[in-house]
Amino acid sequence: MRTLQIALTATAALCIAACSGTGPSGPAKLLTLDGNPPLVIAHRGASGYLPEQTLEAYTKAIELGADVIEMDLVSTKDGVLIARHDPNLAISTDVAKHPRFASRKKTIKVDGETQTGWFSNDFTLAEIKTLGGISTDAERPQEFNGKFKVVTFQEIIDFAKAKSKETGRTIAIYPETKNPTYFRDLGLPMEDKVVAAITAAGWNSKTAPIYVQSFEPGSLKYMKAKGLNTKLIQLIDGDGIDMKTGAMTYAVPVDRPYEWTKAGDTRNFDVMVTPAGLAEIKTYADGIGPWKRYIVTIKGSIGADGKPLDVNKDGKINDADATSVSPTTLIADAHKAGLFVHPFTFRNESRRLAADYNKDGKNEYAIYYKLGVDGVFTDFTDTAIAARTEYLKSMGR
Ligand SMILES: [Ca+2]
Ligand SMILES: [Ca+2]
């Protein structure tokens, strides 16, 4: 009893020094849900630099300081979970250059969107292992195309554990069930395999270094019902921004979870960011992963013809022709509901930065960190880390 009392007193004293934080020497209070610094989540690895979702891209992200590495899971024909953003392998691999797979090219619908390419569900893992990853963005380095292999979910779990041991840091992983309804309809459901792999890894708890995410609530709810006890994140998408009003626009396939479309539910993702939507998410998830424009949107300048102006006169209309507007209350609303907030995706390219960020991605992170986001999905871990260091310093940490 006495020992306990002393321990409590010591904790209280520490907290007076470190937790109140308003004194001249104490650090200021952070607005994150748990009061800790925001996480830097390497979206698809260091995808700004290397072909995404490869061990090489994850290694680089960890070298640049990422707290968490993020991956999308799709299924192979033989039911193995692999890290790819899309079932369509043409987008992120060199499959088009492999003549022996030419006959497997086809045009199908994925979540209501017509796509032509080669699909993971038509390839065994052994076949996919003969492919190389490629950059998914023509503006980014292309010289590594075809050099790095596609990896399985299990390989990533093993890799993260090895890297944690090697670096002495906890490297968390952030897998997403991608197109879960699409794969279930093909007889290749992913959820039981995700739960089994996490359980076998010894990570089936809220405190384990893992976050499980999906755009489809049904996928998260199913895994929770099957005993998944990790942190769960509901992703919230949108298509674009109306440059005149700053309002979110919605279009297939990012208008709503595909399971809703299939069930005839015509609501869009925006219902998830209302207080009622957040309360519903809290019944099955621990956090939200909204498109960042739900927190700070942008507006363009509109010409006499009603169309957005090419303000920087580079012949294109994009984010660089717009400025950011006052933030919404989403972070505070989500925190009030007990949900943490990890917005996506932060990128360095100037065409993807509102004009008021002056072509420096750090200025964008600074806004979101100050608003209290609990983490950021970034393609450029180093920029997110540099901005976080500056932010924490400004907060006396
Ligand atoms: Ca993802
Ligand atoms: Ca422009």
Q: What pLDDT is attached to residue 23?
A: 52
Query: What is the distance between the alpha carbons of residues 184 and 180, in angstroms, rounded to a whole number?
Result: 6
Q: Which ligand does the CA of 74 lie closest to?
A: 1
| Smallest-distance ligand from the CA of 350 | 2
Nearest of 377, 206, 199 to residue 292 by alpha carbon: 377
Q: Which pLDDT score is estimated for 24?
A: 59
Q: How far apart are CA 214 and CA 277, in angstroms?
A: 16
Ligand showing the shortest atom-to-Cα distance for residue 233? 1
User: What 3-state class would DSSP assign to 72?
Assistant: strand
CA of 319 to the centre of ligand 2 (A): 8
How much is the pLDDT for 308? 94
Instruction: Determine the distance separating the centroid of ligand 1 and the alpha carbon of 6, expressed in angstroms.
Output: 46
What's the whole-model pTM score?
A: 0.93
Ligand 2 midpoint to CA 303 (Å)? 13
Q: Which residues contact residue 184 at a Cβ distance below 8 angstroms, ignoring those fewer than 6 apart? A: 190
43 Cα–ligand 1 center, Å: 7
Helix (H) or strand (E) holding 348: none
Q: What is the pLDDT of residue 6?
A: 39
Low-confidence ranges of the chain (pLDDT < 70): 1-25
pLDDT of residue 5: 40
Closest ligand relative to 312 C-alpha: 2
Q: Which ligand gives the minimal distance to the CA of 352?
A: 2
CA of 358 to the centre of ligand 2 (A): 14
Looking up tokens 């920087």 gives 312
- 112-157 tens-digit pLDDT: 999 999 999 999 999 999 999 999 999 999 999 999 999 999 999 9
Tell the burial category of 43 from Cβ atoms under 10 Å away from its Cβ (0-12, 13-18, 19+).
buried
Question: What is the structure's pLDDT at 28?
Answer: 87
Query: Taking the CA atoms of the chain, what radius of gyration do you get in angstroms?
Result: 22
CATH code, residues 2-85+150-394: 3.20.20.190
Residues near ion ligand 2 (CB < 5 Å) are 310, 312, 314, 316, 321
pLDDT score, position 25: 63
The whole-number pLDDT of residue 19 equals 44
Exposure of 279 by Cβ count < 10 A (0-12 exposed, 13-18 middle, 19+ buried)?
middle
> Ligand 1 centre and the CA of 153: distance in Å?
13
Ligand 1 center to 79 CA (angstroms):
20
DSSP for residue 309: P
